[in-house]
Amino acid sequence: MYITCLDVEGVLVPEIWVAFAEASGIPELKRTTRDEPDYDKLMNWRLGILKEHGLGLKEIQDVIAKIDPLPGAKEFLDELRSFSQVILISDTFTQFAAPLMEKLGRPTLFCNTLEVADSGEITGFKMRVEQSKLSTVKALQSIGFDTIASGDSYNDLGMIQASKAGFLFRSTDKIKADYPDIPAYEAYDELLSAIKNAMK
C-alpha cells in the first residue's frame, strides 16, 4: 500500500519566509538556515522581528493570504490525490501554511505549531519531532505503508532515501550533482508519471 509524502516549500508553494519578506516589505526576514544554521536561533530572531513590526498571527496570515501556490501546483496535487494518498510534510508552521492550504484544496499537512497568545502575539513555537520528514516516513512504514517521497532540499534527502521511491523536484544543481542516483524532475507532469510508475 503506497502513500506519497511531499515537501511543501519549493515544491508546491514558494519559500514562505522569502515570500513573506517580500509581501510584508521586511527584507531582513529573507535570512534562512543558510545564513543561520541554528533553526531555533533563526526562528527566535524572526519572531523578534515580527514583534518589532507589531505583527501578530492575524497580520501575518493576512500577508500570507496574498501568496499563491506555484503555478500548476493545485492541479498537480488534485491529480496526484486522485490515485494516491498524499501527506504534505513541512518544517513550517500550521498557522503560516493555513492560507496556502486553503488554496491547495486543504490537503493533509504534517508540520509544526506556533504558540499564540490570546492577543494574537506569537510567543513561541513547537517542533513536532526531530528530523520530521524522515521520522514521518519511518512511522508510516511501521504501519504498513510503502512510501514515495519528493522534495527539493537537503532536509528532504532523508525521507527520499528511506522511501521505496524518491525523487528530487526543482532542486539545486549542487544537490542534483551530489546525489546523481536520485531521479530529478522539474515539471509536475514528470513527477506525476514517476510516482505512477513507482506504484505499478
Active site residues: 7, 9
* Residue (4 or 153) nearer to Mg ion, CB: 153
CA distance linking residue 115 with residue 124, whole number of Å: 5
Residue 109, beta-bridge partner list: 88
Length of the chain: 200
Q: Please identify which residue in 9, 29, 125, 140 interacts with Mg ion, judged by CB under 5 A.
A: 9
Q: Which residue's entry shows cell 524522515?
A: 134
Q: Looking at this protein, which amino acid is placed at residue 81?
A: R
Shortest gap between Cβ of 101 and Mg ion (angstroms)?
A: 15
Q: Which three cell numbers stand for residue 107?
A: 490537503
All three cell numbers of 15:
519559500
Q: Which of the residues 134 through 193 are near Mg ion (CB under 5 A)?
A: 152-153
* CB proximity list for 42: less than 8 A, separation 6 or greater: 31, 32, 33, 35, 36
Taking residues 54 to 83 in sequence order and writing x for each that binds Mg ion by CB under 5 A, - otherwise, the string is ------------------------------
Contact 4, 159 (CB under 8 A): no
Return the SS3 of 89.
strand
Nearest residue to Mg ion, using CB? Answer: 10
Residue 9 or 55: the one with the smaller Cβ distance to Mg ion is 9
Q: Is 91 in the site for Mg ion (CB under 5 A)?
A: no
Q: Which is nearer to Mg ion, 60 or 149 (CB)?
A: 149
The residue among 56 and 107 lying less far from Mg ion, judged by its C-beta, is: 107
List 3, 4, 10, 125, residue binding Mg ion (CB under 5 A): 10
Binding segment (CB under 5 A) for Mg ion, from list 1-9, 67-75, 118-126, 186-194: 1-9
CB of 15 to Mg ion, least distance (A): 7
Q: Which of 4, 5, 6, 7 binds Mg ion (CB under 5 A)?
A: 7
Q: What angle do CA 161, 107, 20 make, to 5 degrees?
A: 85
The dihedral over CA atoms of 98, 101, 92, 64, expressed in degrees to the nearest 10, equals -60
The site for Mg ion, by CB under 5 A, has a size of: 5
In the complex, the residues that contact Mg ion under the rule CB under 5 A are 7, 9-10, 152-153
